[in-house]
Amino acid sequence: MTKFLLPTTARKAQSSAFVPTEAMNRRLTSAILTVALHADKEARRDDKIQREARAAVAATLDTWIAYMSENDPGRVEDLFFEFACFATATNRKRMLKHSQVPEGVAERTDVQLAQWKADAAAQRSASEASPADENGRGA
């Protein structure tokens, strides 16, 4: 059985590029603006919800600290210590001025931060000193 191949025609180049009309441009601009306004409204709503949630936590925190100071002072010290360890330097200074921060938290925080810094430096120097094989892993 023989196969008959149909002759193929050469493809013609596209005659012209699509050019939107002014009406199409106006509708597209209007649609994009509508989507942007809706997205902005949703973002502002989400921001408001998160602000209110943070305010609720902040409002309750002082009551919790006062309660825990009487019942389990160690937890209050641990709370301030952990918050101070993970805060930025500016926020750490502000936090440690809180009226209910137990004594010694600032010193304990300084010791922990110095330890983390020393550990990071040791790890950096160890990774620089160890030769790497072809896969980038140390020997």
Angle at 138 between CA 132 and CA 139, to 5 degrees: 95
CA distance 95 to 52: 21
Domain extents for the chain? 25-71, 73-131
pLDDT reported for residue 127: 87
Structure-token pair, residue 30: 């209007």
Where residue 129 falls among pLDDT bands split at 50, 70, 90? Answer: confident
Phi then psi for 132, rounded to 5 degrees? -100, 140
Residue 137 has pLDDT above 80, yes or no: no
Mean pLDDT in residue range 28-36: 96
In the predicted model, what is the mean pLDDT of residues 120-137?
76
Which pLDDT value is given to residue 16?
Answer: 74
87: its two tokens? 């805060």
Cβ-in-10-Å burial (0-12, 13-18, 19+) of 95 comes to middle
**What's the start-to-end Cα distance of the chain, in Å?**
66
Q: Over the stretch 38-90, which tens digit does the pLDDT of each residue have?
A: 999 999 999 999 999 999 999 999 999 999 999 999 999 999 999 999 999 99
Q: What is the pLDDT of residues 87-101, one digit of tens each?
A: 999 999 999 999 999
The better pLDDT of the pair 48, 6 is held by 48
Tell me which amino acid residue 33 is: L
Whether 104 and 73 have beta carbons less than 8 Å apart is answered as no
